[in-house]
Chain A
């Protein structure tokens, strides 16, 4: 608690759960941060409602032992994060405390740690010249942070135009050193170091424009890249009942996606899942740069046993850090697992405040809150013409697996990609369980993507996707008919169509996230396999017996699986491919 920022004091008068009511002796700020003095510690909270001189605060930690009369200090600012070089590889809690700096095995109440390192020295290179005009977000200099040229930017809070009156020369600096001075026409001078602070609930908007996404954001996951592509700066969400593979999918995205920086918000989910990231990422390589994954990753861990109010903060903290890296012209991927836990945190607070509840007791403005959050993602062009992006993918955990619930519905309105995980597919181990028929990517309709796909992937790419999608629908319809009428009750061609849809499913849609090779399919391999599958699907084999159809396609599918498990174009791969080509040729000749 910095004393100069305290705008009033107060005393606690009521406590229920983590909602605390206090009377203040001075001004209050909505969403202002406050500190409760309890057992010699400062416990942090946020004012979420004011009424006269009364403040209702949600406390970010346990209120166990709180009494009426304890002192509270109200600060003049909202919840802020500190932004600067050195965030990559770090593990923060929802309030951006550096978890590695915390002492002891357990998270003790009132423990706070600074998110950056004030001691390390960074080799600073100026990017701007004295005399130059500067507005908020302009790049003044840079320091190398692993593979990223971390831009030191004019403060985001800067209002109006300034002139760069001094900039440090190339040399070593700590983040607290002054590296630039700015002056405006009124002669006001601002000193700039390498730390910025920013209130997490407000978007960082230091860009010239936000554009519609147009380029593919590669994830290495076939059912996404090929069938339901997400674009750079795009949004998507993954709803699914428990155990359907939301987290495995998000981890796969974090590992393989073509991003410069990956921000993972573990929001109200299992601690062991973040432990998995802590354990694996330092050893795994970024498939594109060959650097360790941990070096491009920031983790915001507010697991389910950590305080509920900080859970809400965690998604905003993560978004703000993503916006900060985007402003440097970087391709950032933001993942949040699970946004439903954040919505539930809002519900818990709203209920404690005895607000009039909306559907399923969620707050009335839930859908506005979700829409507002998703709108912070996007593809931006900075003032200097450089572009950056935040691609955001959140998971949703619908109660009872029923998608007709407020969080899923509100999210569906704003996210452009819908990766619906199906219980049936998960039960039959068809992973990833992304439903091929329910799921969609609105980007397939974007002219920007259509021309990108034509140029960069294949002249007829969109048509091919349509063909495969429609084929999956026919496959499903025929499967239903076979179930009703029996194997003998439908023509043999029906069986052929059904098994061709199965082939698409097994060869393209299904992908083993735990296999070193199959887990990640680069675009050229995806295109190659797509063509190979389509060719078989379009061949008329003219079977005369449904048992033969099944045996034939089981064989074909098996060979495709072996190919997927083999390195692309390796000897092994070619051997399986040859065998496949042979049995296909044999069959076509036979007819």
Chain B
């Protein structure tokens, strides 16, 4: 990095910590980018002539007489059509061995969309997975994470959905991704003909954790560009946001901030919402949908990261293995798509909301019956039927490896109602019962 005409150069650090350094400098802008001994850094605090820089790559081996160059600019990303099929690091530099992309530089982490300029999301994104399409329907412009223990195949599910979704562009933001997972995504997208519409911003585990902090802003600046300037439908995949939050806590800790719950900074909610709220439906047809991953530890959703995330995103999808049928499912409990009511029964068949709720209610009853069974009680006839219902429902409808059209999902569920339940037990609006109850006979 060579200094330009207006760039200021210094060569004395007064203080170095694990993630930051401090120097005396004049005329520096807040959040301005700088280079310290060639490493990218950003201004995080100015107090008089003392300027504190966060060094993304870490401070190991930094000399206190290092050369410090201020760029005079806040973080930027060059954007162009030539990015398709390309993979970059947190600074927008290629990591796929190809040459750098030329393009107009856009600031990252820019201003928010005026809420009155947004349009209400209304386009359904079909995935073929019943845990989503039937129970937690995804809508373009939505932001929703997978809540998953680290041992679940969340990245595979993410890739699967991305390939099935009818979108113009997929932008992958990888944070703390293992190299294997990065290559998995790259190969999957190349094989799945997704290559021409995929762009990746990747921070792998061999890079500094603090670098991750730039990934969502990079991915979303690119998404905003394509959605606003080209009216494209952009799907942004962010995996793993827990790793992102961990990096936030590292920095907050180095800056001596008072931690709140689970050693996370008190601003975690605002930090995460700035990212997720970039999901939007623009009036001219472009949109940004965010599908993220929040890994849990031991399924604990009260931890500050999933907790704050749940308060921000438009629902969450719980990925877990169903022990009864030994398949990965999206758990009908706790999973939620808050935008589903914009499309279910409207874009989809009218009976959709009632079928969905009735099946989940029965599934809940089955959970109670199972508890009874485990406690050694005798099961009633209803208990036995509802358990059978739940098993069929998990195996033939919910399992991630089942691929169905939404109407097929509804018909299959009606069949199960007919097979195991009485009309009163299913408890749905009579008009739908009259229309669909007999679907069971088409078995």
Q: Answer yes or no: are A and B bound together in one complex.
A: yes
- Which residues of A are in contact with B by a Cβ distance under 8 Å? 13-17, 21, 62-69, 91, 99-100, 102, 104-109, 241-243, 268, 270-272, 274-276, 278-279, 301, 303-306, 308, 341, 344, 347-348, 351, 354, 357, 360-361, 397, 399-402, 427-429, 483-484, 486-489, 514, 546-547, 550-551, 554-555, 557-558, 561-562, 565
Q: Which residues of A contact B302 (CB under 8 A)?
A: 399-402
- Check B364–A272 contact: CB distance below 8 A: no
Q: Which residues of A contact B85 (CB under 8 A)?
A: none
The residue on B at minimum CB distance from A561 is B427
CA distance A402 to B303 in the complex (A): 11
Known: A67-B28, A348-B270, A399-B304. A554 touches B360 (CB 8 A): no
The residue on A at minimum CB distance from B368 is A483
CA distance A357 to B257 in the complex (A): 11
Known: A243-B338, A304-B270, A305-B273. A107 touches B114 (CB 8 A): yes
The verdict on B149 contacting chain A, using a C-beta distance below 8 Å, is no
- Check B258–A351 contact: CB distance below 8 A: yes
- Check A360–B270 contact: CB distance below 8 A: no
- Check B380–A304 contact: CB distance below 8 A: no
What distance in Å separates the Cβ of A582 from its nearest Cβ neighbour in chain B?
15
The verdict on B59 contacting chain A, using a C-beta distance below 8 Å, is no
- Considering only residues 253-272 of chain B, those with a C-beta below 8 Å from chain A are 257-261, 266-267, 269-270
CA distance A91 to B115 in the complex (A): 9
Q: Which residues of B contact A397 (CB under 8 A)?
A: 311
| From A106, A550, A558, contact of B112 by CB (8 A) | A106
CB-based closest 4 A-B pairs: A400-B302, A304-B273, A305-B277, A486-B377
CA distance A99 to B113 in the complex (A): 11
The verdict on B381 contacting chain A, using a C-beta distance below 8 Å, is yes
- Which residues of B are in contact with A by a Cβ distance under 8 Å? 26-32, 44-49, 74, 110-121, 141-142, 228, 257-261, 266-267, 269-270, 273-274, 277-278, 280, 282, 302-304, 307, 310-312, 314-316, 333-334, 336, 338-339, 341, 353, 357, 360-361, 364, 368, 371-372, 375, 377-378, 380-382, 422-425, 427, 429-430
- Check A67–B27 contact: CB distance below 8 A: yes
CA distance A279 to B122 in the complex (A): 12
The residue on B at minimum CB distance from A401 is B302
Known: A100-B116, A106-B110, A304-B269. A270 touches B31 (CB 8 A): no
What distance in Å separates the Cβ of B219 from its nearest Cβ neighbour in chain A?
16
- Check A554–B113 contact: CB distance below 8 A: no
Q: Which residues of B contact A243 (CB under 8 A)?
A: 310, 315-316, 334, 336, 338
- Check B120–A279 contact: CB distance below 8 A: yes
CA distance A227 to B338 in the complex (A): 27
Known: A66-B30, A427-B333, A547-B382. A272 touches B339 (CB 8 A): yes
What distance in Å separates the Cβ of A51 from its nearest Cβ neighbour in chain B?
14
- Check A14–B47 contact: CB distance below 8 A: yes
Q: Which residues of B contact A360 (CB under 8 A)?
A: 260-261
Q: Which residues of A contact B378 (CB under 8 A)?
A: 486-488
Known: A275-B118, A279-B120. A109 touches B257 (CB 8 A): no
Q: Which residues of A contact B382 (CB under 8 A)?
A: 547, 550
14 contacts between A and B (CB under 8 A): A16-B44, A65-B32, A65-B74, A68-B46, A91-B116, A105-B228, A243-B316, A274-B115, A276-B120, A361-B258, A400-B302, A550-B382, A557-B424, A561-B427
Among A65, A104, A272, A357, residue most surrounded by chain B Cβ atoms (within 10 Å): A272
What distance in Å separates the Cβ of A108 from its nearest Cβ neighbour in chain B?
6
- Check A272–B121 contact: CB distance below 8 A: yes
Among B368, B378, B424, residue most surrounded by chain A Cβ atoms (within 10 Å): B424
- Check B311–A242 contact: CB distance below 8 A: yes
What distance in Å separates the Cβ of A295 from its nearest Cβ neighbour in chain B?
17
Q: Which residues of B contact A399 (CB under 8 A)?
A: 261, 302, 304, 307
CA distance A191 to B4 in the complex (A): 59
Known: A106-B113, A344-B269, A348-B270. A304 touches B277 (CB 8 A): yes
Q: Which residues of B contact A68 (CB under 8 A)?
A: 26-28, 46, 48-49
- Check B277–A487 contact: CB distance below 8 A: no
- Check A99–B424 contact: CB distance below 8 A: no
What distance in Å separates the Cβ of B49 from its nearest Cβ neighbour in chain A?
7
What distance in Å separates the Cβ of B312 from its nearest Cβ neighbour in chain A?
6
Q: Which residues of A contact B424 (CB under 8 A)?
A: 551, 554-555, 557-558
- Check A63–B30 contact: CB distance below 8 A: yes
| From B30, B120, B311, B364, contact of A275 by CB (8 A) | B120
CA distance A273 to B311 in the complex (A): 12
What distance in Å separates the Cβ of A476 from its nearest Cβ neighbour in chain B?
14
Q: Which residues of A contact B27 (CB under 8 A)?
A: 67-69
- Check A483–B371 contact: CB distance below 8 A: yes
Q: Which residues of A contact B261 (CB under 8 A)?
A: 360, 399-400
What distance in Å separates the Cβ of B255 from its nearest Cβ neighbour in chain A?
9
- Check A303–B115 contact: CB distance below 8 A: yes
| From A21, A278, A361, contact of B116 by CB (8 A) | A278
CA distance A483 to B373 in the complex (A): 11
What distance in Å separates the Cβ of B33 from its nearest Cβ neighbour in chain A?
11
Known: A270-B277, A357-B258. A562 touches B430 (CB 8 A): yes
The residue on A at minimum CB distance from B270 is A308
The residue on B at minimum CB distance from A242 is B310
- Check A361–B259 contact: CB distance below 8 A: yes
| From A65, A301, A547, contact of B115 by CB (8 A) | A301
The residue on B at minimum CB distance from A514 is B341
Q: Which residues of A contact B336 (CB under 8 A)?
A: 243
- Check B364–A270 contact: CB distance below 8 A: no
Known: A15-B30, A486-B375, A554-B427. 15 other contacts (CB 8 A): A63-B31, A271-B118, A275-B120, A278-B115, A301-B115, A303-B115, A305-B277, A308-B267, A348-B266, A361-B259, A427-B364, A486-B377, A514-B353, A554-B425, A558-B424
Q: Which residues of B contact A65 (CB under 8 A)?
A: 29-32, 74
Known: A303-B115, A344-B266, A351-B258. A64 touches B338 (CB 8 A): no
What distance in Å separates the Cβ of B45 from its nearest Cβ neighbour in chain A?
5
Known: A401-B302, A427-B333, A487-B377. A62 touches B111 (CB 8 A): yes
- Check B372–A483 contact: CB distance below 8 A: yes
- Check A104–B114 contact: CB distance below 8 A: yes
| From B112, B310, B375, contact of A107 by CB (8 A) | B112
Q: Which residues of A contact B310 (CB under 8 A)?
A: 241-243
Known: A304-B270, A557-B427. A99 touches B114 (CB 8 A): yes
- Check B30–A64 contact: CB distance below 8 A: yes
What distance in Å separates the Cβ of A519 from its nearest Cβ neighbour in chain B?
12
- Check A348–B267 contact: CB distance below 8 A: yes
- Check A272–B314 contact: CB distance below 8 A: yes
- Check B259–A106 contact: CB distance below 8 A: no
- Check A271–B120 contact: CB distance below 8 A: no
The residue on B at minimum CB distance from A241 is B310
Q: Which residues of B contact A67 (CB under 8 A)?
A: 27-30, 46
What distance in Å separates the Cβ of A91 from its nearest Cβ neighbour in chain B?
5
What distance in Å separates the Cβ of A62 from its nearest Cβ neighbour in chain B?
7
- Check B112–A305 contact: CB distance below 8 A: yes
What distance in Å separates the Cβ of B299 from its nearest Cβ neighbour in chain A?
13
CA distance A102 to B381 in the complex (A): 63
CA distance A78 to B26 in the complex (A): 32
Q: Which residues of B contact A274 (CB under 8 A)?
A: 115
- Check B427–A271 contact: CB distance below 8 A: no
CA distance A69 to B112 in the complex (A): 27
CA distance A3 to B115 in the complex (A): 31
What distance in Å separates the Cβ of A368 from its nearest Cβ neighbour in chain B?
20
